[in-house]
Structure 1
Amino acid sequence: MRFAPGFGQRYLLTVDTEEEFDWTKPLDRERHTVHSVSRLAKFQQFCESQGVVPVYLVDYPIVSSPAAVAILRDAVAAGKAEVGVQLHPWVSPPHEEEVNERNSFAGNLPAALERAKFTQLRDKIAETIGAAPLIYRAGRYGVGPNTADILADGGIAIDTSVRARFDYSAGGGPNFRDHPVRPYWLNRGRGLMELPLTSVYWGPLRQLGPWLYPQMWRAPRLRGLLSRIGLLERIPLTPEGVTIEEAIRGIDIALDEGLPVLVFSFHSPSLAPGYTPYVRNEDDLDALYDWWRQAFAYLARRQVRPTTASELIAAVTLA
C-alpha cells in the first residue's frame, strides 16, 4: 500500500480502551469494572500537550459508561482524538455464544454472530460519541475469515488487528508470525487496508528473527538470554513490558527499514494502578507517562510526525 508523495514516515498512537478484568482468570461476561475511565481525561490532556491525537479503540463496556463517553465525545468533537471499534465478544451483545478462550477471538464465531456483535458496537459508538468509526481492532487480535467482509460492509477503512511477529494459535487465535509489518490492502476495491501493530526484531541475528524466534517457543529462557546478550530481541512498540531503551531501538529499526507508519499501542486500564501487570502503583504510572514523553521526544528528533486514522485514509493512493 502506498501513501501520497510527501507523506514521509509517521506514527499513530492507538489505545485499547476497555474494561478492567483479572487477566489471570477465565473470561466472564459480568466480572469487570470501568473504574480506570476516570483517568482518560488526564491522558487526553497529556496527549494534547504533546501535539498527539490518540485513537481510542473502544469496546462495549466503555461505550456504555457515561463517564467514558463524556470524555471521549468532547475530545473527538474538538478534533483532539479519534474513536474506533474494539470488539471484545464476550462482553458484546448479542450474547449467544459460550464464553471460553476460543470464542474470545471474534473471528472464530459464526459469521452472522460476529457481524451482529460488530454492528451493535459500531452503531452504539456512533450514537453515543457522535462519530462514525473508521478503524477497527479485534479484541485479543482475533480476526477470522469473515472479518474483512464484515468491516468493509460496516464502513471501516482501517483494520489494525494484526500483531505482526506474534502467534496466538495455541489458544485458538490467529498466527501473525509471518504477516507483513508494512501496511497492505485487505480489499483494495472496497478501500479496506491493514495497518499492523509495529513489532520488529533487533540484534545481530535479527535477519534470522522470523525463522529463529518461533523455533524457541518452547524455550522462553533462551529467548530471554538472546535478548540479554544483545543477539536477538522482539520489540513491539508499547510501554507495556518494553523499556524506553528497547522501544528506541525498535523505532530505529522500523525507520531504517522504511516503514511508513509506526503503530504504538497500550491498554487503557494501565492508566490507573492495579488493573494490569504493567502498572501496579503510582510510581509505575509516572513511569508510563515518562515512557511516552521520551518516545514522543525521540520521534520528534527523528523528524517523525504523529498522524491520525483520517489522515492515513486521505493519504492513501490507489496508483
Structure 2
Amino acid sequence: MPGSSLLDLPSAEQFVRFREDFGQRFIVTVDTEEEFDWNAPLNRERFGLVTIPALRKFQQFCDGFGVVPSYMLDYPIASAPPAAEALRGAVADGRAEIGVQLHPWVSPPFEEAVNEFNSFAGNLPPRLENAKFARLRDAIEGNFGAAPLIYRAGRYGIGPHSAAMLKEHGLAIDTSVRALFDYSYAGGPNFRNHPLRPYWVDAERTLMELPLTTVYWGLLRQAGNIIYPHMWRTPSVRGLLARAGLLERIPLTPEGVTAEEAIRGVDIALDDGLPVLVFSFHSPSLAPGHTPYVRSDEDLDAFYDWWRTLFGYLASRGVRPTCVREIMASVALA
C-alpha cells in the first residue's frame, strides 16, 4: 500500500472518511516545550521551564469555550512535576488531551551529536529514535496518568521508520506533516506536496495522518506550490504578493499570522471541504519574552484576543471543536 511511510504521499483511497454528523471541526494543538533561544544553536542544557504555570491560564481559557486542547509534550515538560500538576486534572476530566512531541536533543538516551541534522528525530538510527520515543511516552503516561494517542515530531522531523515506531507503541494519530512547507534545506522533510486532508498511513487503517492546516490564499493560490517555493529568499516579494491579494501562505497559528489572515485561511479550508482544521502554536508563547511572537504583555493580550476572534468566527461558521478521541470515534469504517 502506498503511504506506508509518513514521508510518502497518499493515494486517493487512503483519505479518511468521517460520519456525516461529524461535519467540519477544528482542533487546537500545543507544542508544549521548554524555553530556549530560537536564534542560538541547539543545546541540551541551556533551556528553561518558567512558562509552565501559564499552561493553567490557557487551559482555563479553553475551558470557557468548550475547547479541548491537545498538549504535545516533550521530555523536559513531561518529566517536570509542575507540568503534571498544571494539566493532570484537566486530562483526567477530559478537558484536555496529551500527546508526544519528540525534541531529540533534550530527550534521553543521549547518544547522538547535537546538530541540526539530528534535531529531526526521523534522521536518527531507528533504534535510537525508538528508544527516545519510548522513554518520553513512558514518562508522559507515568506522570500524567493517561496514554498519549497523538504524536508530533519536533521540527516536524518524521523519517522513514517513524510510522512503524508509532504503530508499535499504539499511537493512533500522527500530526507531524506540515503541508506546503519544505524543511529539506536543513536536512528535514519536504511536505510541499502533501495534502491537507487526514489520511490513513497503513493498510490496516490503525495510524492516521492529521496534517497541520496551511492554505494558499489569493488570485494565484492554485499555482501556490509552483510560485511560493521560489520566493523563500525574497520575503519582500512575498509581502507584495500578499498585499496585492495575489498569493499568501497562511498557516493556522497565532504566531506570525494576524486574526484577519487566519480567518481568510479558515474560509479557504472550509470552502475546500477540509473536515478537520488543525491549529498549533508553541507553549512558550503563553508568557512574554520567550518566542519572537510574544515579547510583551501587550503581545500576550493580543495573543488571547486572536484566539477569542478565531473561536468566535469558527462558531459563526458552525465549526465545532473536536479532540483526538472524538476524531477517532467519528471515522466511517464502511
TM-score, scaled to structure 2: 0.94
- The code of the aligned residue for 2:268 comes to I
1:11 aligns to 2:26 (yes or no): yes
| Bigger mean CA offset, 211-220 vs 194-203 | 211-220
Q: What's 1:297 paired with? A: 312
Q: What's 1:228 paired with? A: 243
Q: What's 2:10 paired with? A: none
> What is the DSSP-based 3-state SS (H/G/I as helix, E as strand, rest coil) of the residue aligned with 1:175?
coil
Specify which of 22, 27, 38 is matched with residue 23 of structure 1.
38
1:149 aligns to 2:164 (yes or no): yes
1:112 aligns to 2:120 (yes or no): no
Q: In structure 1, what is the Cα distance between the partners aligned to 2:166 and 2:22?
A: 26
Q: In structure 2, what is the Cα distance between the partners aligned to 1:42 and 1:215?
A: 41
> What is the DSSP-based 3-state SS (H/G/I as helix, E as strand, rest coil) of the residue aligned with 2:51?
helix
The sequence identity of aligned pairs, in percent, is 69
1:90 aligns to 2:90 (yes or no): no
Q: In structure 2, what is the Cα distance between the partners aligned to 1:101 and 1:4?
A: 42
Q: In structure 2, what is the Cα distance between the partners aligned to 1:43 and 1:219?
A: 36
> What is the DSSP-based 3-state SS (H/G/I as helix, E as strand, rest coil) of the residue aligned with 1:26?
coil
- Asked if structure 2 preserves the Cα contact closer than 8 Å seen for 1:52 and 1:306, the reply is yes
Structure 1 stretches of 5 or more lacking a match? Answer: none
Specify which of 175, 179, 185 is matched with residue 200 of structure 2.
185
How far 1:228 moved relative to its partner? Answer: 1.6
- Asked if structure 2 preserves the Cα contact closer than 8 Å seen for 1:152 and 1:190, the reply is no
Deviations 1:36-93 (A, max 9, x none): 0011101100000111000000000001111111111111001110000000000000
- The code of the aligned residue for 1:121 comes to L
- The code of the aligned residue for 1:230 comes to G
> What is the DSSP-based 3-state SS (H/G/I as helix, E as strand, rest coil) of the residue aligned with 2:53?
helix
> What is the DSSP-based 3-state SS (H/G/I as helix, E as strand, rest coil) of the residue aligned with 1:235?
strand
> What is the DSSP-based 3-state SS (H/G/I as helix, E as strand, rest coil) of the residue aligned with 1:242?
coil
Q: In structure 2, what is the Cα distance between the partners aligned to 1:292 and 1:220?
A: 26
> What is the DSSP-based 3-state SS (H/G/I as helix, E as strand, rest coil) of the residue aligned with 2:20?
coil
Q: What's 1:129 paired with? A: 144
Q: What's 2:59 paired with? A: 44
> What is the DSSP-based 3-state SS (H/G/I as helix, E as strand, rest coil) of the residue aligned with 1:266?
strand
Q: In structure 2, what is the Cα distance between the partners aligned to 1:130 and 1:111?
A: 27
- The code of the aligned residue for 1:216 comes to M
Specify which of 265, 276, 285 is matched with residue 261 of structure 1.
276
Q: In structure 2, what is the Cα distance between the partners aligned to 1:233 and 1:132?
A: 38
TM-score, scaled to structure 1: 0.99
1:209 aligns to 2:224 (yes or no): yes
How far 1:224 moved relative to its partner? Answer: 1.6
- The code of the aligned residue for 1:262 comes to L
Runs of 4 or more consecutive aligned structure 1 residues displaced over 6 Å after TM superposition = none
What CA RMSD, in Å, does the superposition of the two structures yield over aligned residues?
Answer: 0.8
> What is the DSSP-based 3-state SS (H/G/I as helix, E as strand, rest coil) of the residue aligned with 2:164?
helix
How far 1:218 moved relative to its partner? Answer: 3.1
Q: In structure 1, what is the Cα distance between the partners aligned to 2:322 and 2:233?
A: 38
> What is the DSSP-based 3-state SS (H/G/I as helix, E as strand, rest coil) of the residue aligned with 1:317?
coil
- The code of the aligned residue for 2:302 comes to A
- Asked if structure 2 preserves the Cα contact closer than 8 Å seen for 1:166 and 1:175, the reply is yes
Q: What's 2:187 paired with? A: 172
> What is the DSSP-based 3-state SS (H/G/I as helix, E as strand, rest coil) of the residue aligned with 2:179?
coil
> What is the DSSP-based 3-state SS (H/G/I as helix, E as strand, rest coil) of the residue aligned with 1:83?
strand
Q: What's 2:12 paired with? A: none
Deviations 1:76-129 (A, max 9, x none): 001110000000000000000000000000000000000000011001100110
- Asked if structure 2 preserves the Cα contact closer than 8 Å seen for 1:27 and 1:90, the reply is yes
How far 1:12 moved relative to its partner? Answer: 0.3
Q: In structure 2, what is the Cα distance between the partners aligned to 1:187 and 1:120?
A: 24
How far 1:318 moved relative to its partner? Answer: 2.9
Q: In structure 1, what is the Cα distance between the partners aligned to 2:331 and 2:111?
A: 38
How far 1:190 moved relative to its partner? Answer: 4.9
Q: In structure 2, what is the Cα distance between the partners aligned to 1:264 and 1:108?
A: 26
Deviations 1:155-208 (A, max 9, x none): 100000000000111110001000011111111405101000000000011011
Specify which of 59, 64, 80 is matched with residue 95 of structure 2.
80
Q: In structure 1, what is the Cα distance between the partners aligned to 2:331 and 2:167?
A: 16
> What is the DSSP-based 3-state SS (H/G/I as helix, E as strand, rest coil) of the residue aligned with 1:61?
helix
Specify which of 78, 87, 90 is matched with residue 63 of structure 1.
78
Q: In structure 2, what is the Cα distance between the partners aligned to 1:44 and 1:200?
A: 27
Q: What's 1:101 paired with? A: 116
> What is the DSSP-based 3-state SS (H/G/I as helix, E as strand, rest coil) of the residue aligned with 2:280?
strand
Specify which of 265, 273, 276 is matched with residue 288 of structure 2.
273
Q: What's 1:34 paired with? A: 49
